[in-house]
Amino acid sequence: MAPPRTTDSRLESLAALAAWFWGNVDRTRDCWLWRGSGGYGRVYLGGGHRAPLQISPHRLAWMLTAGSIPEGLVICHACDVPNCVRLSHLFLGTQRDNIRDAARKGRLIPPRGERNGRAKLSEAQAQMISGDIARGLRTGVIAARYDISPPVVSMIRHGQRWKHIRKGARTA
């Protein structure tokens, strides 16, 4: 984690800010990673966490290397790494451009199946449950077998959960 940085814009130069900022970046072969807090991170200028200016590291990187950010535009990540500050991985765009970029890359679709962090079943278990349903096993029996609640089995039965496994086939 980057050490706290405060500046008094009247006393410290842009060069000092740039030296501090780039000194807190890990330059890997691909991305240049800001060492601050997780995710997009924050840089606090002028007084710690109560700073008059809080800015995302990728926005500060852009301003230090490419200049100001025009009104109405955002800095987008081509690499999709939130803490990347490498200029060649950043581009100007509207919020709409940013959303379209995320959609095109499949980042707006919630993860399905076992890739969903809340999933209690594996893909193989969901397929076995689907088979048990097709063979006519009762909901309570299936629920007990897989240590899940009967409503979860019912949702699988009716295509409300794990529908990508069942490919829309429903059995009564």
At 111-157, the pLDDT tens digits run 778 877 778 899 999 999 999 999 999 999 999 999 999 999 999 99
Residue spans of beta strands (DSSP E) within the chain: 25-27, 32-34, 43-45, 53-55, 74-77, 90-93
- Least confident residue range of 6-20, 67-81, 145-159: 6-20
The alpha carbon dihedral of 97, 86, 24, 33 has a sign of positive
Amino acid at the residue 77: H
24 C-beta neighbours (distance < 10 Å), count: 18
Determine contact, residues 34/24, Cβ cutoff 8 Å. yes
Helices 139-146/123-134 angle, 10° precision: 160
Q: What is the mean pLDDT of the chain?
A: 85
Query: Which CATH architecture best describes the domain 14-104?
Result: Alpha-Beta Complex (3.90)
Mean pLDDT of the 38-65 span: 82
φ/ψ (deg, to 5) at 27: -95, 100
**Do residues 113 and 123 lie in contact, with contact meaning Cβ atoms separated by under 8 Å?**
yes
Domain boundaries, the chain: 14-104, 113-166
